[in-house]
């Protein structure tokens, strides 16, 4: 039991009058007063057995009762009655245990792969060992569980440390307490949490895999195995599929090619090896291989394309294949990730990414076309498997990963061309997502830079599919309709630039005005004049129908204190367009009103006409019903001098503050754009941060040309293209002052 485990006491009596309520209270109250969580039941031996027939928890608890004190004859009577009941109800009890485990597994995560596992209830947690022990007691047959017991000790020690550290019952090993638990377990260095989590993940995988085998064997002893049809399908390497299970001939020599042949069958057919075949695989991969032979490599590449590739790659983990074939893999096996938007361990994420590559090609039209045009996909799938191998190296994981991937490709015996493609994909696997979410896609310099960096149309097509798969495999925060649209837009523009040499041309004012006037006759003869007053970047910044609505707003410009608002709602995102008189700080003021109404901003753009009218466009997460009406009223009040915005925001921040300091990282990038300085701010996703940043920029009298907001789990990356009031990029001195202004404003609002 762990320090804050529940304590379940059974008071056995004969009859009930043996124990008075006052005596029972006298026993329990001191335990409760001491802070222990004590549950109790008062029953006769017959009643206790009857309870086990109705309540599985009572039945499994009774399998391991411990006599504490009192009349031991009562305990002996209960144990005798209970054991006879277990023998009589053995089949029913086994089925109940299996059904309960199945239901729990359907609700829980997999402790060996998620970053913050529940040590008790997740798949591969302590409860799965309890299940195996319950079945052992019910069936009455001993099985070899040395490896499971060792894994159990790891999880139990970690759970005990967790309880003591937080001083309460807590079974989920949250990311924020992992370092403290590691120190309590004796890991004092900076990597202590990583060491502990690697052991926890490894232990949980052992329990999930080996515990499942033990549970099946014990249950089949009582319930019998599946009905045998006599069907046998012969495969190569001495393998066969017999009754749906992969078996190996006893005469087959265990070698890497044969072991990988099993992996290939799992990936392509979804069949799993028998325990004896798994032991044969362990022997096949026992000895390190300096360079793969052709058969091993061919089977591996084929496995990566299989519908059940995640299961196959996990089987390699359980059979020791990674250690024997790619020793570099041991660095990332079970390794925790420190990005809050990641859900899985490094190796778990890589396994899922390969599966997502295959799924994207099969289900997404643009990914399917990109893959078909690229041709051979071996480099793509290998890169999907290796793209994060540089994590934990202490340097940029894309750069480190390229070097590690090159060594691993050499060990696999891949040809030079494939190796170069794999290394390029690993090196630039973040390029599309970073550019799409943090840079101005209407800036030709951005498109030119990506096109020049990637260079090859084939590699860029593969990179697009990898980007989609990587995001989908990361977690729900890493992929959305908004991000999909940005990635698709960047893909189209860069691919055209690579293959034709043309950069995206700004739409000609005359040509665009003709399109607009054909779409809406009301703007006939007026569209060209309106467009001429807007900056060139406006001309291809949105869809034609949206541009028409915005130009209608400009036909009769709003007066002082007036605000026009257009809301276009979609399933996941909503676009808010605001037309108002331009003056310093308008973007900051609007961002403040959005914060007041708790509307989450994903993207922002601002354009000003030569006549001093501003168009602000915000892409936001669709809020609850009624939020936009409140937002419009507050916006009108803010711009008409009827709302003390700063005071209201400070109050709102105080109400929702977590109590922790907000310390952003501010960077000015002078060379990212030929016409603007790029200010990048990274920080926690807290209410009012965008308002604080934009207010600081307006206080420096800077013009925000484009703003991009990207939320990554609990963190945000906000990027602003800014120019001085005389349309120049920032000097070094101005850049330093911008950093100081943002840090000061954030500190003033959040860290009082």
Q: Write down the pLDDT at residue 507.
A: 56
Output phi, psi for 574, to 5 deg: -130, 140
**What is the maximal distance between C-alpha atoms in the chain?**
103
What proportion of the chain, given as a percentage, has pLDDT over 90?
Answer: 62
Q: Write down the pLDDT at residue 92.
A: 94
User: Contact 638/589 with Cβ under 8 angstroms?
Assistant: yes
- Which pairing describes strands 613-621 and 715-724: parallel, antiparallel, or unpaired? unpaired
Q: Which residues 6+ apart lie within 8 Å of 570 measured at CB?
A: 481, 622
353-357, 431-435, 522-526, 556-560, range with the lowest pLDDT: 556-560
- What's the residue count for the chain? 752
Q: Write down the pLDDT at residue 78.
A: 94
Model confidence pLDDT, tens digit, residues 16-61: 777 888 888 999 999 999 888 898 999 999 999 999 999 999 999 9
Q: How confident is the model at residue 158 (pLDDT cuts 50, 70, 90)?
A: very high
The whole-angstrom separation of Cα 283 and Cα 300 is: 18
Q: Write down the pLDDT at residue 640.
A: 86
Q: Write down the pLDDT at residue 657.
A: 67
User: Contact 647/688 with Cβ under 8 angstroms?
Assistant: no
Q: Which residues 6+ apart lie within 8 Å of 215 measured at CB?
A: 98, 101, 131, 132, 135
User: pLDDT at residue 540 above 80?
Assistant: no
Higher pLDDT, 445 or 351: 351
User: pLDDT at residue 504 above 70?
Assistant: no
Q: Is the pTM of this model over 0.75?
A: yes
Average pLDDT of 234-260?
90
Average pLDDT of 416-422?
96
- Residue 210 zone, left/alpha/beta (φ > 0; ψ -120 to 50; rest): alpha
Q: Write down the pLDDT at residue 658.
A: 61
Q: How confident is the model at residue 340 (pLDDT cuts 50, 70, 90)?
A: low
Output phi, psi for 710, to 5 deg: -130, 120
Q: Write down the pLDDT at residue 333.
A: 94
> What is the rounded average pLDDT for all residues in the chain?
90
Model confidence pLDDT, tens digit, residues 607-617: 888 888 889 99
User: Contact 590/635 with Cβ under 8 angstroms?
Assistant: yes
Higher pLDDT, 713 or 167: 167
User: pLDDT at residue 506 above 60?
Assistant: no
**Residue 717 burial (C-beta neighbours within 10 Å; 0-12, 13-18, 19+):** middle
Average pLDDT of 222-229?
75
User: Contact 6/39 with Cβ under 8 angstroms?
Assistant: yes
Cis amide leading into 15 (omega within 30):
yes
Q: Write down the pLDDT at residue 214.
A: 93
Q: Write down the pLDDT at residue 706.
A: 77
Model confidence pLDDT, tens digit, residues 632-690: 999 999 988 898 988 999 888 888 766 667 889 999 998 888 888 999 999 888 888 89
Q: Write down the pLDDT at residue 688.
A: 87
DSSP string spanning 576-645?
Answer: EEEEEE--TTHHHHHHHHHHHTTPPEEEEEEEE-TTSEEEEEEEEE---TTHHHHHHHHHHHHHTT---H
Query: Which candidate, 684, 680, 664, places its Cα nearest to that of 748?
Result: 664
Q: Write down the pLDDT at residue 584.
A: 77
Q: Write down the pLDDT at residue 503.
A: 73
Q: Write down the pLDDT at residue 471.
A: 94
Q: How confident is the model at residue 348 (pLDDT cuts 50, 70, 90)?
A: very high
User: pLDDT at residue 74 above 60?
Assistant: yes
């Amino acid at each position: 039991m762990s320090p804050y485990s529940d304590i379940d006491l059974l008071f056995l009596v004969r009859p009930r009058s043996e124990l008075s309520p006052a005596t029972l209270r006298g026993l329990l109250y001191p335990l409760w007063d001491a802070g222990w969580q004590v549950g109790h039941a008062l029953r006769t031996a017959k009643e206790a057995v009857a309870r086990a027939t109705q309540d599985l928890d009572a039945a499994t608890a009774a399998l391991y009762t411990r006599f504490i004190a009192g009349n031991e004859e009562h305990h002996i009577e209960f144990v005798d009655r209970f054991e006879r009941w277990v023998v009589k109800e053995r089949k029913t009890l086994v089925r109940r245990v299996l059904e309960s485990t199945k239901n729990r597994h359907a609700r829980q995560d997999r402790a060996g792969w998620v970053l913050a596992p529940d040590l008790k209830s997740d798949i591969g947690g302590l409860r799965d060992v309890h299940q195996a022990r319950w079945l052992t007691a019910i069936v009455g047959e001993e099985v070899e569980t040395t490896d499971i017991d060792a894994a159990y000790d790891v999880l139990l020690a970690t759970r005990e440390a967790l309880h003591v550290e937080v001083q309460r019952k807590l079974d989920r090993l949250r990311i924020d307490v992992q370092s403290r638990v590691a120190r309590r377990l004796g890991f004092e260095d900076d990597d202590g949490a990583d060491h502990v989590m690697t052991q926890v993940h490894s232990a949980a995988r052992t329990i999930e895999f080996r515990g499942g085998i033990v549970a099946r064997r014990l249950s089949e002893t009582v319930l019998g195995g599946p009905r045998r049809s006599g069907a046998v399908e012969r495969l190569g390497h001495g393998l066969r599929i017999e009754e749906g299970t992969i078996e190996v001939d006893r005469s087959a020599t265990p070698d890497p090619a044969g072991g990988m042949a099993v992996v290939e069958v799992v990936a392509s057919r979804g069949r799993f090896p028998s325990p004896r075949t798994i032991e044969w695989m362990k022997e096949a991969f026992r000895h390190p291989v300096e360079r793969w032979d052709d058969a091993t490599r061919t089977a591996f590449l084929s496995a990566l394309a299989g519908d059940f590739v995640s299961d196959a790659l996990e089987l390699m983990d359980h059979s020791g294949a990674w250690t024997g074939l790619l020793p570099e893999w041991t660095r990332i096996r079970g390794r925790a990730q420190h990005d809050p938007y990641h859900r899985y361990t490094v190796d778990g994420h890589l396994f899922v990414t390969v599966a997502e590559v295959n799924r994207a090609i099969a289900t997404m039209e643009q990914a399917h076309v990109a893959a078909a045009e690229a041709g051979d996909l071996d480099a793509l799938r290998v890169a999907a498997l290796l793209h994060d191998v540089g994590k934990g190296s202490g340097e940029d994981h894309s750069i480190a990963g390229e070097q590690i991937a090159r060594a691993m490709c050499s060990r696999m015996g891949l040809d030079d061309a494939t190796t170069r493609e794999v290394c390029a994909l690993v090196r630039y696997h973040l390029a599309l997502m970073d550019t799409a979410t943090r840079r101005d896609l209407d800036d030709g310099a951005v498109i030119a830079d990506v096109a020049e960096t990637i260079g090859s149309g084939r590699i860029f097509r593969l990179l697009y599919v990898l980007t989609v798969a990587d995001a989908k495999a990361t977690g729900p925060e890493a992929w959305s309709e908004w991000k999909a649209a940005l990635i698709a837009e960047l893909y189209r523009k860069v691919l055209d630039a690579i293959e034709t040499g043309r950069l995206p041309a700004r739409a000609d004012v005359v040509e665009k005005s003709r399109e607009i006037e054909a779409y809406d006759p009301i703007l006939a003869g007026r569209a060209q004049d309106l467009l001429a007053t807007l900056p060139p970047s406006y001309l291809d910044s949105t869809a034609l129908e949206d541009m028409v609505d915005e130009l209608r707003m400009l036909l009769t410009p709003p007066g002082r204190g007036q605000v026009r608002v257009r809301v276009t709602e979609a399933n996941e995102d909503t676009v808010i367009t605001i037309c108002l008189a331009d003056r310093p700080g308008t973007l900051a003021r609007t961002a403040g009103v959005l914060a007041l109404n708790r509307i989450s901003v994903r993207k922002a753009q601002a354009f000003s006409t030569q006549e001093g009218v501003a168009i602000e466009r915000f892409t936001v997460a669709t809020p609850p019903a009624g939020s936009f009406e409140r937002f419009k009223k507050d916006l009108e009040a803010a711009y008409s001098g009827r709302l003390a915005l700063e005071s209201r925001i400070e109050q709102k921040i105080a109400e929702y503050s977590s109590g922790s300091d907000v310390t952003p990282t501010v960077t000015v990038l002078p060379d990212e754009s030929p016409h603007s300085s790029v200010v990048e701010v990274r920080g926690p996703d807290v209410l009012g941060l965008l308002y604080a940043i934009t207010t600081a920029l307006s206080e420096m009298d800077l013009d925000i040309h484009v703003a991009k907001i990207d939320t990554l789990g609990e963190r945000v990356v906000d990027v602003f293209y800014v120019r001085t009031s005389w349309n120049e990029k920032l000097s070094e001195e101005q850049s330093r002052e911008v950093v100081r202004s943002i840090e000061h404003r954030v500190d003033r609002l959040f860290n009082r």
